[in-house]
Amino acid sequence: MSLVVQKYGGTSVANVERVRNVAKRVVTALEAGDRVAVVVSAMAGETNQLVAYARELGGEEPDPREYDVLVSTGEQKTIAMLALAIQSLGRKARSFTGGQVGMRTDTTHTKARIESIDARRLREAIEAGIVPVIAGFQGIDEAGNITTLGRGGSDTSAVAVAAALGADVCEIYTDVEGVFTTDPNLVPAARKLDRISYDEMIEMASLGAKVLQIRAVRFAMRYRVPLHVRSSFEPVPGTWVVPEEEVMEELVVSGVTYNRDEAKIRVRGVKDVPGVAARLFAPLSEANIVVDMIIQNLSRDGTTDMTFTVGRSDYSRALRIAREVGAKIGSGEVDGDATIAKVSIVGLGMKDHAGVASRMFQVLAEQGVNIQLISTSEIKISVVIDEQHVERAVRALHAAFVEAGAAQPRLES
C-alpha cells in the first residue's frame, strides 16, 4: 500500500467531463489499495481570465496582494469540483485551500516561497479514508494574507505536500506521456524516457522541455521525493524522475532540447579590467532581465568582446541598457540578434565520456550549421545557432546521440 500524491494540471481539469475523468483515476488508485492525496491547478484558461481582470482593473502592474486574492480563486474552484466528483463515485473526499492546509509561505506575493506545511489535517483525513484535494499554487503568509507561488507553482505545491506526507511518489499528470528524448513534433524517432535523474530533468526543464517546473524538480531533489511524470489521458507508465543513484542505466545523452525564445547581445571593445562585468550586468539585473549565457573572449589589446543571451521579450530593453552602459564605460559597438536559438544535449553519462562535445560540434558541422556561442556544464552542452537551423540541428543530434548511441554502460573510473 503506497501513499501517492497526484497532481493534475489545468488541461486535466479543463471542464466538467475531465474533472470526472480525474476522479475516476483517483478511485482507480484507491481500488488498487493506494492511499491518495490530490493537488490540482485551475481549469485551463481560468487563470488567464483572472489575470486579464487584474490587468484591466489594476493596470500592467496590479497590486500583488489583490492579484493573489483574485487568481487563487481558480484553484479553489477546482478543489471543490474534484471533491464533489470523487464523492459522486462513492468515495470520501475533502477540499483544502492553501490556508486550510497550512501552506505557509513568505510574503512575496505572486511568487512566494513555501516555508512549511502543517500536514496534520491531511494526515487525519487520509487516516479517516478521506481523499484530501488540495489547491496548488497558493499559500498564506504569517498574517493570513493569500499568496501564490507563480506560474507553474502547482507542481511545487504537489512536491511540498508529498514531502510533508512522506509520500512514496508524487505523480505529475500532464497532457504528454512523459519526458521525451526530444520534441516528438520535431523528431518522430523521439522516445519516452523511463527514468531520468533530478539533475538531468533540471537541465532539460530549464532548456525548454515544458513538462515540469524546474523549481518543483529542485524541491523534489532536495527532499528526495520521486516524481512520476505521466499522461492524464492514457493509463500507461510515464517517466520517473529520481535520485541519480537510482538511474540504473545512464545514457550519455538523455535528451536534445531547444529554445527559440533567445536573443543575443554583443558588447565589443570592453576594457579588460576588474569590475567591468558588474557595471554591465548590474543594470540588467535591476531591470529584472534574466541573463542566461555569458561568454567573454580572451583579451586582445587590453579589450575584450562580451556576449550574452536574454529572453527574446527582453531583447530591446536589454539592448538599450547595454548601449547606455557601453557609452558610459567607453566600449566599442553594441549590437544584437533576436533570430537565434539554443540547442542542447543533456546526459548524466557525459560526466564519464570524453569527446561528447567534439562529437556534437562535428555533427553540426556536417549539417552546415554554424555555432555562434558555446556553454557547457557537467551534464550538458549548449550551443547558440541561427534560428533557421534549429530543426536540422535537433534531428541530427538526436540521430547521432540518442538513436545511434542508445544505452551505454556507465564507465566506472
Task: Please report which helix (H) or strand (E) contains residue 381, including its range.
Answer: strand 380-386
- Closer by beta carbon to a second copy, 57 or else 406: 57
For 284-333, strand residue ranges (E) read 291-296, 303-310
Q: Which of 304, 275, 308 is nearest to 289 (CA)?
A: 308
- Closer by beta carbon to a second copy, 93 or else 385: 93
In whole angstroms, how close is the CB of 36 to a second copy at the nearest point?
17
In whole angstroms, how close is the CB of 406 to a second copy at the nearest point?
46
Cα gap 167→354, rounded to integer Å: 38
- Closer by beta carbon to a second copy, 93 or else 229: 93
In whole angstroms, how close is the CB of 235 to a second copy at the nearest point?
22
Cα gap 260→372, rounded to integer Å: 14
In whole angstroms, how close is the CB of 388 to a second copy at the nearest point?
42
Other residues' Cβ atoms within 10 Å of the Cβ of residue 234: 10
In whole angstroms, how close is the CB of 107 to a second copy at the nearest point?
14
Other residues' Cβ atoms within 10 Å of the Cβ of residue 402: 25
Residues contacting residue 96 through CB under 8 Å, at least 6 positions apart: 79, 121, 122, 132, 133, 134, 135
Place of cell 544505452: 407
Decide: residue 3, CB within 10 A, 0-12 exposed, 13-18 middle, 19+ buried.
middle
- Closer by beta carbon to a second copy, 24 or else 210: 24
- Closer by beta carbon to a second copy, 66 or else 337: 66
Residues interacting with a second copy, by CB under 8 A?
Answer: 16, 19-20, 50, 53-54, 56-59, 62-63, 65-67, 69-70, 72-73, 76-77, 79-81, 83-85, 87-88, 93-95, 97, 99-100, 144-146
Angstrom CA distances, 69 to 121, 127, 191, 262, 290, stand at 23, 31, 41, 33, 27
In whole angstroms, how close is the CB of 39 to a second copy at the nearest point?
15
- Closer by beta carbon to a second copy, 81 or else 167: 81
Residues contacting residue 138 through CB under 8 Å, at least 6 positions apart: 68, 72, 75, 76, 97, 98, 99, 103, 146, 147, 148, 149, 153, 157
In whole angstroms, how close is the CB of 81 to a second copy at the nearest point?
5
- Closer by beta carbon to a second copy, 49 or else 377: 49
- Closer by beta carbon to a second copy, 89 or else 273: 89
Cα gap 389→367, rounded to integer Å: 9
In whole angstroms, how close is the CB of 54 to a second copy at the nearest point?
6
- C-alpha angle 287/203/98, rounded to 5°? 70
Cα gap 307→265, rounded to integer Å: 6
Amino acid at 403: E
> Phi-psi category of 186—alpha, beta or left, where left has phi over 0 and alpha has psi -120 to 50?
alpha
- Closer by beta carbon to a second copy, 20 or else 317: 20
Residues contacting residue 362 through CB under 8 Å, at least 6 positions apart: none
SS3 385: strand
In whole angstroms, how close is the CB of 94 to a second copy at the nearest point?
7
In whole angstroms, how close is the CB of 38 to a second copy at the nearest point?
13
- Closer by beta carbon to a second copy, 71 or else 396: 71
